[in-house]
A and B are shown apart, each in its own frame.
Chain A
Amino acid sequence: MTPVLHIDPSLTTPEIHFDLEKGHFSIKGSSYPENSLKFYQPVVQYLADLVRTHTPSPEKTLILEIELQYFNTSTAKVLLDILRYFEQLYEKGQPVQVRWLYLEDDTEMEDAGLDYQAAVKLPFELVALHEEA
């Protein structure tokens, strides 16, 4: 499989950068595409392939960072699917850390992070950012 997946951001979709070599996976921006399932299809395919082919490296932690300003409900559903793939990697013995980044006074986004934290069995950290980037 291709070790790097990169999708440039647009006004309605986030920047996606998944780098297996570096163990860093990030989703950043706003996410309200016209069809979330279609937009995230390459991401889901990448992760399905990763789950199928990856040999766990206990010494290396895979970090998934999610930093979203806005996301629609169909993205909410895809995000859960994405987290489920990381859950499968974690269950296979691969250390994984999820970092949910949100603006410190954005309680909406903090609550969303807490919901995901409760929904998956993964090391899941909520990180409050002090000012908008």
Chain B
Amino acid sequence: MNVSYEHRTLFRYEGPLDMQLLPQVIKSVEQLLIGEKIRTPLRRKIISILIELAQNVIHYGIHNHFLPNPTISLTREGNDIILSIANPIHASQELFLRTYIENLLAMSKEERTVLYQNVLTKSDYTDSGGAGLGIMQVLIKSDSFSYKIESLDPEHAYFTITATFHINNS
């Protein structure tokens, strides 16, 4: 029997992230996905999620030389593309993030979509001019989603979001 299993890192970045760097990251990832022959709808879906998550890191992450840097990684595992983004956060944000994400995970995809539309049409902008929809968007658009929050020290934690996309769904 011939079993083939593919696990390749397509892209990895570790370092400070800002709005000057983000377009270059997007361009690189887009070219890599084209090289992997990922069709337009899935490619654009992955890039959209990358933009949301990277902008969350830029807006809400902590930028401190004594803490681990943000990381972005894109891997291919067989017929899956896995996007993972991690960054340090204040430990005080952990409870909010866990509660928010667990509430979203408890919803069906349809319930999340209705909530997304409600927030889009009825809520105000966040202080940073955002819509507060980034993580919700990831849950709606990805085929599977996971997160972890690991303590770095009493005041800081490392927050990782991983979104998986099935290539067959494109």
A68 CA / B126 CA spacing, docked (Å)? 23
A4 / chain B contacts, CB cutoff of 8 Å: none
- A34 x B58 contact (CB < 8 A): yes
B117 / chain A contacts, CB cutoff of 8 Å: 115, 119
Any A CB within 8 A of the CB of B73: no
- B131 x A73 contact (CB < 8 A): yes
Report if A35-B23 is in contact (Cβ < 8 Å); known contacts: A70-B51, A77-B120. Answer: no
Report if A70-B121 is in contact (Cβ < 8 Å); known contacts: A12-B19, A36-B129. Answer: no
Any A CB within 8 A of the CB of B137: yes
A34 / chain B contacts, CB cutoff of 8 Å: 19, 55, 58-59, 129
A12 CA / B133 CA spacing, docked (Å)? 19
B41 / chain A contacts, CB cutoff of 8 Å: 105-108
Any B CB within 8 A of the CB of A38: yes
Minimum Cβ distance to chain A for residue B43 (Å): 9
Other-chain contact of B120, A72, A76, A106, A109 (Cβ < 8 Å): A76
Contact with B along A44-77 (1 / 0, CB 8 A): 0000000000000000000000000111111011
Minimum Cβ distance to chain B for residue A69 (Å): 8
Other-chain contact of A11, B23, B39, B44, B133 (Cβ < 8 Å): B23
Using a Cβ–Cβ cut-off of 8 Å, how many residues does chain A contribute to the interface with B?
A: 25
Interface residues of B in 4-26 (CB under 8 A from A): 19, 22-23, 26
Contact with A along B19-56 (1 / 0, CB 8 A): 10011001000000000000111001101100110010
Report if A12-B23 is in contact (Cβ < 8 Å); known contacts: A34-B58, A72-B51, A77-B120. Answer: yes
Report if A73-B137 is in contact (Cβ < 8 Å); known contacts: A37-B125, A80-B120. Answer: yes
Q: Chain B at the A interface: mostly helix, strand, loop or mixed?
A: helix
- CB-CB nearest in chain A for B116: A73
Report if A70-B39 is in contact (Cβ < 8 Å); known contacts: A34-B19, A35-B128, A77-B131. Answer: no
- B129 x A38 contact (CB < 8 A): yes
A72 CA / B125 CA spacing, docked (Å)? 13
A109 / chain B contacts, CB cutoff of 8 Å: 44
Instruction: Report 21 cross-chain contacts, Cβ distance below 8 Å, ordered by A residue.
Output: A11-B23, A12-B22, A32-B51, A34-B59, A35-B129, A37-B125, A38-B129, A69-B44, A70-B26, A70-B47, A70-B51, A72-B55, A73-B120, A74-B125, A74-B131, A76-B120, A105-B39, A105-B40, A108-B41, A115-B117, A119-B117
